[in-house]
Structure 1
Amino acid sequence: MPSLSHLRTSLVIPPAFIHATPGLALGCAIATSALWLAQQPWFARHGLGALTLAIVAGLLLGNTVYPRLARSCGPGVALAKQQLLRAGIVLYGLRLTFQDIAQVGWSGVATDALVLASTFGLACWLGQRVLGLDRRTTLLIGAGSSICGAAAVLATAPVAKGRAQDVAVAIATVVVFGTLGTFLYPALFQWNAEHGWLHTDAQHYGLYVGATVHEVAQVVAAGTAVGPEAASTAVIAKMVRVMMLAPFLLLLSTSMARGERTQGRHHAGRHAITIPWFALGFVAMAGVHSLGVPPAAVVHAGVQLDDLLLAIAMAALGLTTHVQAVRAAGFKPLLLAAVLFAWLLLAGLALSHGLPRWL
């Protein structure tokens, strides 16, 4: 019979887990509160999702009471910003199926791809060449605007080597202009219906919204404001756009590695391209979901777990971001995001309205 001391030894909890517990508990408390608030009618109507609310709450606490808790909560918060974030991006694939592509057709896929490529390309040129922003901030704002808002910013941060303040600035632009879009897009649709500027319908509007609005929650809000058909098309188009996140990250990682080699900034043993494995996991999870392998109950539980993991990561990001660092970024990031928002409105309208007629 094993001795009491032997049982105590076998049940010892790893020190790293013990050190991470306070920070994880704090992040979980913020995340669950944000998830609850996101389900309330007022927040849902205005497209304020759990990720947005989690980072806002994290910022408020991070600049008030968290500094006194940082010593005990720091390890858990760091764990949330890294491992939990990557796990959340992988599970995000459970929201998608490859069958979604068939519902929007090749014109919808082409519209999403052209909007993504043109917006991100404009961000890189305008941010670095014209505005003189650093590469990290430029890449994160470009990814958030061109793909899927906060989730894209979080997924791109490890590849772009973004700091907490860079990520916070990029997400702030997503919140500002994505929220503006939830009100502006339905208003534009109504104005067009009254004046007859363009011949369009709910399906075209849904494709337009899904291909250009930042966050998934904001897409739902802007689509629902016009009708169920518009909302359905918008969500599908948005999911196809989200699915492009993984190849985008692989291409970005390859491009950055080549750029470093060209500029002679590589070191011995660092010639290999950094592969964002979580992006491949994201695609694999979407593929498993597409095959219908996991039961619906498992998929639903996985999506709920993913919501929690991403919200915890956002809370951790907010907790470690100081307002002074965001202010130090200045006016230029906001100007870049504003230009990209205008581009999405105009170029996105032209592509979503004209491309389906050409193809």
Structure 2
Amino acid sequence: MTRNTILPGMALILLLAGIALYLAGLPAFSHLGLSALTLAIVGGMLLGNTLYPHIAERSHHGVAFGKQQLLRLGIILYGCRLTLQDIAKVGTSGLIIDLLVLSSTFALSIWLGTRLFGLDKKSAILIGAGSSICGAAAVLATEPVVRGSAEKVAVAVATVVVFGTASMFLYPLLYPLALHWFGGDAHAFGVYTGSTVHEVAQVVAAARAASPDAESTAVIVKMIRVMLLAPFLIGLSAWMARTEPRHGHARSITVPWFAVLFVLMTALHSLPFFPRQFDHVLLFIDNLLLAMAMGALGLTTHVSALRRAGVKPLLLAGLLFVYLIVGGALINLAVSHLAML
């Protein structure tokens, strides 16, 4: 693949990402918690089902490059959002809560998706990853491991958008009740929000109703969930190698190299000599890369395929959403109680 063959597609997804980043910064969209990733995939789908088929022959190499290589680079740079010092601030209990919420939500997604709704395993995995870890970014990061189609990825992202957006309006309404659950502790509400809401932007919007302390705690707890993405992907690869043999032979374990580099980037970002003055530049580049990957995904997603997926993925994500609210609260209460013993 030469540079000339990828340039048209790269220019197209760069334009989509730039528009998405601009719109995400406008109050009308930011107050709704619509991130650049969400706007990029929506814009990509609108273009992909109208004008893009006419230019797909010239652009598809660059679009494919965006979905694959730029996505992995974006996941690596995601490590610049967290430090090991941040993890220490919320303590062992915050990490345990995140682990329990993640593992139980994902396991529930596999069981409900394949047993109750009859979905294929890849769809259940993608929806479970988005609900249990970090929304659209987790769905994108999981796709190379499960090798899901663009349509399955788009459906999973759509469920995250629907219920993640709902959480931003529901959690502030739950705040008085949640304070009662947690003994009036706004910090505990922040841990609860960070461990159960889908995306980072949605966590910020949902926790802002409480206090600055709750908001900052929620973001840290959420970013710990993001960091768990790396071991999750490695474990998922090992599980799929054991459960999905190929052509009569065991499937080899594929360690997602970008997940390992994501952890290394987090460790590097934690070092005292890391030039923090570049954080905002790195985060902008990261948002741009992920938005380009989402735009590329949208361009290759056909509305007809989403229609064929039906209502079952949405019902699965809805049940996971209810579990995150209720089951997540019970996990938070149980761990907090045990920590005080």
The TM-score bracket by the shorter chain reads: over 0.9
- Residues 1:199 and 2:179 aligned together: no
Equivalent residue, structure 1, for 2:136: 150
* Cα distance in structure 2, aligned partners of 1:278 and 1:267: 29
Which amino acid in the other structure matches residue 329 of structure 2?
A: L
Equivalent residue, structure 1, for 2:270: 290
* Cα distance in structure 2, aligned partners of 1:142 and 1:67: 31
* Cα distance in structure 1, aligned partners of 2:258 and 2:203: 25
Show structure 2 runs of 5+ residues with no match: none
- Identity rate of aligned residues, in percent? 57
Equivalent residue, structure 1, for 2:202: 218
Instruction: Name which of structure 1's ranges 205-214 and 296-305 shifts more when overlaid on structure 2.
Output: 296-305
| Among 158, 162, 166, the residue aligned to 1:180 | 166
| Among 40, 46, 53, the residue aligned to 1:54 | 40
Counterpart secondary structure, 1:121? helix
Equivalent residue, structure 2, for 1:20: 6
Query: How big is the shift at 1:227?
Result: 2.1
Equivalent residue, structure 1, for 2:87: 101
Query: How big is the shift at 1:16?
Result: 1.5
Equivalent residue, structure 2, for 1:339: 319
* Cα distance in structure 2, aligned partners of 1:207 and 1:60: 37
Q: Is the 8 A contact 2:129 2:135 kept in 1?
A: yes
Counterpart secondary structure, 1:200? coil
CA-to-aligned-CA distance 1:170-214 (integer Å, 9 cap, x gap): 000000000000000011113556xx5663321111111100000
Equivalent residue, structure 2, for 1:307: 287
Query: How big is the shift at 1:353?
Result: 2.8
Counterpart secondary structure, 1:214? coil
Q: Is the 8 A contact 1:31 1:50 kept in 2?
A: yes
- Residues 1:356 and 2:340 aligned together: no
* Cα distance in structure 2, aligned partners of 1:92 and 1:126: 30
Equivalent residue, structure 1, for 2:222: 238
* Cα distance in structure 2, aligned partners of 1:258 and 1:200: 46
Counterpart secondary structure, 1:225? coil
Query: How big is the shift at 1:327?
Result: 0.8
CA-to-aligned-CA distance 1:269-315 (integer Å, 9 cap, x gap): x7531111110010111111011343013332221111100000000
| Among 280, 292, 295, the residue aligned to 2:260 | 280
Equivalent residue, structure 2, for 1:6: none
* Cα distance in structure 2, aligned partners of 1:156 and 1:97: 23
* Cα distance in structure 1, aligned partners of 2:176 and 2:189: 11
Whichever of the two has the greater Rg, that structure is: 1
| Among 219, 228, 237, the residue aligned to 1:253 | 237
Cα distance 1:284–1:198, how it changes in 2: closer, same or farther (>3 A)?
Answer: closer
Counterpart secondary structure, 2:285? helix
CA-to-aligned-CA distance 1:66-122 (integer Å, 9 cap, x gap): 111111111110100000001111111111111111111111111110000000000
Which amino acid in the other structure matches residue 180 of structure 1?
A: A
Which amino acid in the other structure matches residue 324 of structure 2?
A: L
* Cα distance in structure 1, aligned partners of 2:28 and 2:337: 38
Q: Is the 8 A contact 1:260 1:266 kept in 2?
A: no
Which amino acid in the other structure matches residue 230 of structure 1?
A: A
- Residues 1:44 and 2:30 aligned together: yes
Equivalent residue, structure 2, for 1:72: 58
